[in-house]
Structure 1
Amino acid sequence: MSTTSPASVAPSPTPAPKPVRRAKQLPDVALALSALATTAASKWQGDELPALLWLTKTDFAAQAAAFASACTAAEAAGDTRTPQAARLKALDTLLDKGLGFVKNYLEEEYENPKAYYPEFGIEKFNKGYRLPKDRTERAAALTKLLAALVKYKFDKKKYGTAFWQPLATEYASLVSASTEAAGSRSGKVSTKVQGEEKVRKALRALIHHLKANYPDSFEARLREYGFQKESY
């Protein structure tokens, strides 16, 4: 019977150390990040901790203030769009319902009613016919529809000019306002995103700055600067 000497037995491999999972030190939500930046900037202003080579205390305070303003502006712009979007959706429903009656007028009057659809702003969509889906195009189509109602003498009917004119006027106004609001909000969101990048960079640097200057008490110092949560 053969025996194996202890020296010939290969040693068991040392298990690889488990990676250290560090909790996120910065919040994901912009408003929470803004609150943290404001707290940290205020604390740093009057603290003995020196400025960074690339970032002064005053500059960081300005970044935090600008980011807070950008967050507020972006939120306000979003709130403004909400009632406009809701009203446009309601108007779309009314327009689609009213269009069915206009189609009926054409069917009652002409053998080939679809031949007149383009003059009324009606276009083919899948297997049916409707006003354009795009709201800017739909607003333009309503102008054509109003003119066609008069041309083909449907303007005095129940779903004639009296029905369509106020809807078309309101729709055009809301589409214009919504487009402007969307552009304004886009600019404000862009400003917020740019500000967020600067603030995150500064806060990460500040964390390392505190750890380097207070190796034995950095956890307490981080809490003083507002980094109070273990995770966000």
Structure 2
Amino acid sequence: MSSKATESAAAPTEPTKSVNRASQLPTSAIALAEVATNAAKAWQASELPVLLWLSKTDFAAQAAAFAESRDEADAAGDARTPQSRRLQTLDTLLNQSLRYVKGYLAEANDDKKAYYGEFGIEKVNKSYQLPRHRTERVKSLDKLLKALKAHKFDKNKYGTAHWEPLITEYKALVKDSSDTSGERSGKVSSKDQGEEQVRKALRALIHHIKAQFPDTFEAKLREFGFQKESY
């Protein structure tokens, strides 16, 4: 009996999938700015044509603006950190000092709580203290200084000589902190808007490269700085 040739039972191999770089752009703003900067430089030096809605020059400007706005937002955050730490320290000092003022009131009056409002002291939960919100606390500190003089506590150890330098520094830091917060919010908003534009452009550029170089797009993507398969 003649033998029959057997067909190969090996399963066909699946084609290798190319890396989907459009969905794998860096999540980090630092890395994204680097990719955008490198891609912009490569595009300007490349024969790859412009997009209908985006020129090489415009993309280079977008990448540069995004990198700059990211640096400015980070710098604004760094500037606010020392202020925040000092304000926390001053809040603690003010709270500690207030205990002595309340002690003066207790010694001088049978009903000390009746005078708390005059000193800027209010009830917070179950205790009497200065307002927690710093803008309101600044107003209460002004009342406290006036009340110290009115009740003849200004010459005491925790009188005006103790409070005035703390309050002066505190008020200045609260103002600077508010200004810095507003500045940082604006710069973060600008950075976020720039990031959206850059991501849109990079995704379009990846697809543009794939369309123009169907056989060699992997190598071309590496030339443009899309070197990592994931970030």
Is the TM value for this pair above 0.5?
A: yes
Q: CA RMSD in A?
A: 1.2
- Show the counterpart of 2:141: 142
Task: Note the 1:2-13 alignment, pairs <5 A.
Answer: none
Task: Note the 1:202-217 alignment, pairs <5 A.
Answer: 202-217=201-216
- Show the counterpart of 2:221: 222
Amino acid at match of 2:33: S
Q: Distance in 2 between matches of 1:101 and 1:221?
A: 73
Q: Distance in 2 between matches of 1:109 and 1:201?
A: 70
- Show the counterpart of 1:160: 159
Structure 1: where are the runs of 5+ without partners? 1-19
- Show the counterpart of 1:114: 113
- Show the counterpart of 2:50: 51
Q: Distance in 1 between matches of 2:214 and 2:194?
A: 30
- Show the counterpart of 2:15: none
The offset of 1:21, in angstroms, is 9.1
Contact 1:123 1:132 in 2 (8 A): yes
- Show the counterpart of 2:34: 35
Count how many residue pairs are aligned between Structure 1 and Structure 2: 213
Amino acid at match of 2:156: K
Q: Distance in 2 between matches of 1:228 and 1:99?
A: 60
Contact 1:67 1:195 in 2 (8 A): yes
Contact 1:121 1:144 in 2 (8 A): yes
Q: Which runs of 4+ in 1 moved over 2 A?
A: 20-25
The offset of 1:22, in angstroms, is 4.7
| 2:109 maps to 1:92 | no
Give deviations 1:161-203, integer Å, cap 9, x for gaps: 0110000000000000000001111111111011000000000
Q: Distance in 2 between matches of 1:226 and 1:137?
A: 52
Does the residue aligned with 1:154 lie in a helix, a strand or coil?
A: coil
Contact 2:19 2:229 in 1 (8 A): no
Contact 1:38 1:61 in 2 (8 A): yes
- Show the counterpart of 2:10: none
Does the residue aligned with 1:124 lie in a helix, a strand or coil?
A: strand
Does the residue aligned with 1:231 lie in a helix, a strand or coil?
A: coil
The offset of 1:59, in angstroms, is 0.4
TM-score (norm 1): 0.90
Amino acid at match of 2:71: T
Q: Distance in 2 between matches of 1:167 and 1:175?
A: 12
Does the residue aligned with 1:155 lie in a helix, a strand or coil?
A: coil
Contact 1:25 1:227 in 2 (8 A): no
Does the residue aligned with 2:116 lie in a helix, a strand or coil?
A: helix
Structure 2: where are the runs of 5+ without partners? 1-17
The offset of 1:214, in angstroms, is 1.0
Give the percent of matched residue pairs that are identical in Structure 1 and Structure 2.
Answer: 64
Amino acid at match of 2:44: Q
Amino acid at match of 1:47: S
Does the residue aligned with 1:55 lie in a helix, a strand or coil?
A: coil
Moved more, 213-222 or 114-123: 213-222
Q: Distance in 2 between matches of 1:53 and 1:146?
A: 66
Amino acid at match of 1:56: S
